Structure 1
């Protein structure tokens, strides 16, 4: 269960409350923080520091462990192999060693470490439930896009590099004027590629989902709507939205004004997320810190619209698919809340680039569509439909 939302909406508190509730219901539960500005320990009222290894977790109470993941969590050893190679390359072109040290800081280290650690825990057999307190929206989308993006690049890089290393390494290195990576470097990259593929398969399976946290305010609701569309673009299922800090209704004039504003916001939310369960959590009199307070918050969280499935129920995943329609083919991709004007498409060789409001996904086309050209495209009923027809030059009729 990945928990995300706009910064400041109570995402960490919600994730921690879910984890406490899960553990006290008898499930072996791990709550992980992938946010650089870790505040999970503050919510749980424990001294939680960035873990140096995948395995190291902090016991909070019976059946509940916590972990904060950072750029130095376990990935450091593998990164050393790549870093040494990059330092060699930079030295060969005359870059000052001090500058080279700065240039070889691992880009995306936090995201890579988080995904590798999550993959480790998901396959370890130690946990029944893993709750991930993700970073705010932009960082979460970058995190979830990384496995596919990295895989796309490595699939194109590695075969060529392998051939160079085995067939013409000395000549290629001389022609390039740069040292080529050796087998150890490519082995590390290949291992990362395999891990990323496994993590993406897990996160887009029926065993994983995303929960969006928001407050009933127009600006926050607008961003939550965009999050839903962007997550669907990348194939991730949202199982519920949690509306946090809902002020209890009473006769106080000041609170009554807030009640009216929040009531309008809740109506917008139930309309926008129709078909997705909407939960509401009250604005408490005090800050919920510590396991008991978090359990109380979870107990006061209730369904406003729809029915939340049990945690162990399979998640309904509606990802990309291709259907035949006579002699034509239709690529279908769920994009809830999107309109045709929000979507830009571009065909690039064997890939289809889909951009929705600045969030982009590069889709490697199935083999049947590589021999086709795009006829038309549009968004209808929350679904992108791209129609393909045969390219007669490469796929003539009768073949």
Structure 2
């Protein structure tokens, strides 16, 4: 099964490109599902068809879903929310305000990813295409499973044991009820589901495709997205430059835009060398409906396979050496001064700008010491050597 996630800065046309790719996939006889994790659902508008909370057939082999976040919320978060509401009630928070405070930020996107997990395990689909939220929200969302995993492995077991042992004392001291086992079970279940999502999206059959428009600010954000997605272990398989003005002559205004876009497009080619790079020309009308979207995708991919699985080992790899090993983490566009690296026990803490990743070292590396690190060729390389005895 092939999983493709489309992301990009808001307004670049990622939903249109995602929908077009889905329409092209279905036209090739592949049973295709396209779903939206963007709170501002626009797939129904793109396909000019009513779309429900369950997969809705809009053409042969093509199904669209706009996830019912409320239903998934009730399934995955209700026990946790119930406990939080009880605590807020005890401390006197207004019930309406409490209801809002207990909804986690980005909940709709998170529960849409849990829906993706269910579809991926169902065996019903050949291709699943995800229309993600704009870039910043997508990056925070894809970092969540690993962050929650760190908490679950190190803090959660201790907290659960402490609450179970000292519950009467803690309740009296804190003045609020302590969580029941059902709350801990719900947190553990949510972690397990998100961990499955992470494994699915960082696996060999999944990749992220970045959509941009040929503008300097948009290109800069696309480069940062590539870096951050690689940092968290997600493959980027290509970029789509959308809304390119055709060079057909005309007035000075059009010629100015064409020249400015060409400059940015040249930078894009240089920035993403090694990845697939596709272009989509600005059309005279908005592509709406299955056939118009399919034709758009035909032009964009121009005879290449839009569903080809990414090659290579992915952003993270470990190679053994005579004295130890070298861990390489792809960090495109990053210089040495922009990376902070620390070792904390069996973990490497890698920080790039405002994003931090905790890499749990495999047993084979955890017993080695870090002997050096460098940033070279768009990758962080960390050398490990066996500790002298």
Task: Quote the Cα distance in structure 2 between the aligned partners of 1:267 and 1:95.
Answer: 55
Contact between 2:240 and 2:280, CA under 8 Å: does it hold in 1? yes
Contact between 2:365 and 2:384, CA under 8 Å: does it hold in 1? yes
Match of 2:193 in 1: 195
Task: Quote the Cα distance in structure 2 between the aligned partners of 1:93 and 1:216.
Answer: 52
Match of 1:295 in 2: 294
CA pair 110-346 structure 1, distance change in 2 beyond 3 A: farther
Contact between 2:69 and 2:111, CA under 8 Å: does it hold in 1? yes
Task: Quote the Cα distance in structure 1 between the aligned partners of 2:332 and 2:257.
Answer: 29
Greater mean alpha carbon deviation, residues 288-297 or residues 308-317 = 308-317
Match of 2:343 in 1: 347
TM-score (norm 1): 0.88
Alignment of 1:22 with 2:21, yes or no, is: no
Match of 2:46 in 1: 43
Give the one of 72, 75, 96 matched to 1:74.
Answer: 72
Q: Following TM superposition, by how much is the alpha carbon of 1:70 offset from its aligned partner in structure 2, in angstroms?
A: 5.3
Aligned pair count reads: 385
CA pair 277-98 structure 1, distance change in 2 beyond 3 A: closer
Q: Following TM superposition, by how much is the alpha carbon of 1:365 offset from its aligned partner in structure 2, in angstroms?
A: 2.7
Give the one of 245, 248, 251 matched to 2:243.
Answer: 245
Q: Following TM superposition, by how much is the alpha carbon of 1:353 offset from its aligned partner in structure 2, in angstroms?
A: 2.1
**Aligned ranges for residues 104-119 of structure 1 at < 5 Å?**
104-119=102-117
Task: Quote the Cα distance in structure 2 between the aligned partners of 1:37 and 1:108.
Answer: 12
Give the one of 124, 127, 138 matched to 1:140.
Answer: 138
Q: Following TM superposition, by how much is the alpha carbon of 1:243 offset from its aligned partner in structure 2, in angstroms?
A: 0.9
Contact between 1:237 and 1:316, CA under 8 Å: does it hold in 2? no
Match of 1:87 in 2: 85
Match of 2:271 in 1: 272
Contact between 2:37 and 2:113, CA under 8 Å: does it hold in 1? no
Q: Following TM superposition, by how much is the alpha carbon of 1:309 offset from its aligned partner in structure 2, in angstroms?
A: 4.6
Task: Quote the Cα distance in structure 1 between the aligned partners of 2:376 and 2:247.
Answer: 39
The structure showing larger relative contact order (alpha-carbon pairs under 8 Å, at least 6 residues apart) is 2
Q: Secondary structure at the match of 1:209?
A: strand
Q: Deviations over 1:94-146 (max 9, x none)?
A: 54544433322233312320210110111111211111111111011012111
Contact between 1:353 and 1:362, CA under 8 Å: does it hold in 2? yes
TM-score (norm 2): 0.90
Q: Secondary structure at the match of 1:180?
A: coil
Q: Structure 1 stretches of 5 or more lacking a match? A: none
Give the one of 333, 353, 363 matched to 2:329.
Answer: 333
Contact between 1:4 and 1:210, CA under 8 Å: does it hold in 2? yes
Task: Quote the Cα distance in structure 1 between the aligned partners of 2:262 and 2:99.
Answer: 54
Contact between 1:206 and 1:316, CA under 8 Å: does it hold in 2? no
Q: Following TM superposition, by how much is the alpha carbon of 1:322 offset from its aligned partner in structure 2, in angstroms?
A: 3.2
RMSD of Structure 2 on Structure 1 (CA):
2.4
Task: Quote the Cα distance in structure 1 between the aligned partners of 2:94 and 2:251.
Answer: 66
Q: Secondary structure at the match of 1:100?
A: helix
Alignment of 1:380 with 2:383, yes or no, is: no
Task: Quote the Cα distance in structure 2 between the aligned partners of 1:250 and 1:336.
Answer: 35
Q: Deviations over 1:52-104 (max 9, x none)?
A: xxxx1222112111111353142223322111111223344454544433322
Task: Quote the Cα distance in structure 2 between the aligned partners of 1:14 and 1:98.
Answer: 39
Task: Quote the Cα distance in structure 1 between the aligned partners of 2:100 and 2:301.
Answer: 49
Task: Quote the Cα distance in structure 2 between the aligned partners of 1:271 and 1:2.
Answer: 23
Give the one of 11, 15, 24 matched to 2:14.
Answer: 11
Alignment of 1:212 with 2:210, yes or no, is: yes
Greater mean alpha carbon deviation, residues 142-151 or residues 373-382 = 373-382
Q: Secondary structure at the match of 1:192?
A: helix
Q: Following TM superposition, by how much is the alpha carbon of 1:370 offset from its aligned partner in structure 2, in angstroms?
A: 4.1
Task: Quote the Cα distance in structure 2 between the aligned partners of 1:40 and 1:74.
Answer: 20
Contact between 1:214 and 1:241, CA under 8 Å: does it hold in 2? yes
Contact between 2:227 and 2:334, CA under 8 Å: does it hold in 1? yes
Q: Deviations over 1:179-220 (max 9, x none)?
A: 332222222222111111111111111111111111222221
Greater mean alpha carbon deviation, residues 343-352 or residues 197-206 = 343-352
Q: Deviations over 1:244-274 (max 9, x none)?
A: 1122222324433333322222221111111
